[in-house]
Amino acid sequence: MTAAVRTTGLTKRYGPVLAVDGLDLDVRAGEVYGFLGPNGAGKTTTLRMLLGLVRPTAGSVSVLGDTGGSWPSPALGRVGALIEGPAFYPFLSGRENLRALARRARVPDGRVAEVLDLVGLAGRAGDRYAAYSLGMKQRLGLAAALLKDPDLLVLDEPTNGLDPVGMADMRRTIRGLAEGGCTVLLSSHLLGEVRQICDRVGIIHRGRLVSQRPIGELGGAGRLSVRADRPDEAAAVLRRMLGPDAVLRAGEDLHLAVDAGMAAAVNRALVTGGVEVSELRWHVPDLEEVFFELTEGSRDVV
Ligand code: ATP
């Protein structure tokens, strides 16, 4: 598959701070790629280097198949980005703001209505920007990034600050854009978010790439946790039921590698086996736990 973005040894040093350290990223054409890491990991700096806003200290960037020889990439005209709160005129409407940007970018005026539709803002396009909710402002920023009908969209924390409904809307919009053929590279510090929206993920920590893989291979997808009055007996019952490898003892808790839908059957088996269950819950690991798994238990990671 063609690469939409490829970086080789990409590095940025700010004085004593090594913000990005030898990054080899590989974003494939047509996918939604999640660039995941905690605050300060180096995500924004990396995206800014891709977009020609920050000069790399070392390494190279190739965008949309350019040869990677020059920085900034000559292909940036085919890239749309939402990287920092875009500046809009507060007293103009969303539509008027986009028209102004379209004129400046020599984009036909008809494209404005198309992008408003794409981001679901057509019904409120006549309202003043100052009256928009945060979610609507983000949508307008996305619409602006889409004006040039880009082949690659780069979004820095696109759901940051949105409420759950706004986040779900934004996720739907991004998936829709990807289905329309646009490659999306987005950064996030939320594992659950990336799981819901991305095809592949690159995890960055302290400027280094810890892992890059399809989202389904990230591990830590979730497990059933059981607390019972007699954990030894409970473990024996469940190992007979599910096989020895599906049951992990962690102190008083038993972690089961099964689907959430197995909860009732697990409960029934334990009660039938004479074990009383005090707690049965579905546990989804957070970013910290996934880091822990990926780095095989180095407590130093997060
Ligand atoms: P966040 O989600 O908090 O924005 P991030 O993963 O995007 O985090 P960056 O903003 O890229 O991380 O920052 C990475 C490191 O580089 C941090 O230690 C940050 O303090 C440092 N840094 C970023 N920009 C500069 C700058 N212009 N001058 C000095 N240090 C910087």
Q: Which of 106-115, 154-163, 222-231, 239-248 has the highest mean pLDDT?
A: 106-115
- Ligand 1 centroid from CA 43, angstroms: 8
- Ligand 1 centroid from CA 200, angstroms: 23
How many distinct helices (H) and strands (E) make up the chain? Answer: 9, 14
Q: Is residue 49 part of a domain?
A: yes
198 and 229 share one domain = no
Q: Is residue 180 part of a domain?
A: yes
Q: Is residue 280 part of a domain?
A: yes
Query: Is the Cβ atom of 42 under 6 angstroms away from ligand 1?
Result: yes
163 and 247 share one domain = no
Pocket of ligand 1, candidates 13, 20, 45: which has the most ligand atoms within 8 Å of its Cβ, to mutate? 45
What is the tens place of the pLDDT at every residue in 67-101? 767 889 999 999 999 997 778 999 999 999 999 99
Query: Is the Cβ atom of 14 under 6 angstroms away from ligand 1?
Result: yes
Return d(Cα 125, Cα 250) in angstroms, integer. 54
**3-class DSSP assignment, residue 27:** strand
Q: Is residue 296 part of a domain?
A: no
Assess contact for 52 and 71: CB atoms under 8 A: yes
Query: Is the Cβ atom of 173 under 6 angstroms away from ligand 1?
Result: no
Residue finishing a domain among 217, 238, 273 = 217
Say what the pLDDT of residue 219 is: 65
**pTM recorded for the entire structure:** 0.82
137 and 268 share one domain = no
What is the tens place of the pLDDT at every residue in 251-272? 888 988 888 888 999 999 999 9
We report the CATH number of the domain holding residue 195 as 3.40.50.300
161 and 188 share one domain = yes
175 and 198 share one domain = yes
Say what the pLDDT of residue 296 is: 54
Say what the pLDDT of residue 221 is: 65
- Ligand 1 centroid from CA 116, angstroms: 32
Return d(Cα 244, Cα 154) in angstroms, integer. 45
149 and 240 share one domain = no
Residue finishing a domain among 200, 217, 234 = 217
Query: Is the Cβ atom of 50 under 6 angstroms away from ligand 1?
Result: no
**3-class DSSP assignment, residue 214:** strand
Query: Is the Cβ atom of 48 under 6 angstroms away from ligand 1?
Result: no
Domain that holds residue 171: 3-217
Pocket of ligand 1, candidates 43, 46, 55: which has the most ligand atoms within 8 Å of its Cβ, to mutate? 43
Q: Is residue 73 part of a domain?
A: yes
206 and 269 share one domain = no
We report the CATH number of the domain holding residue 275 as 3.30.70
Q: Is residue 299 part of a domain?
A: no
112 and 174 share one domain = yes
- Ligand 1 centroid from CA 291, angstroms: 20
Count of domains forming the chain? 2
- Ligand 1 centroid from CA 159, angstroms: 19
53 and 109 share one domain = yes
If you average pLDDT over residues 145-170, what whole number do you get? 92
Q: Is residue 297 part of a domain?
A: no
Query: Is the Cβ atom of 19 under 6 angstroms away from ligand 1?
Result: yes
122 and 59 share one domain = yes
33 and 153 share one domain = yes
Q: Is residue 185 part of a domain?
A: yes
Assess contact for 6 and 26: CB atoms under 8 A: yes
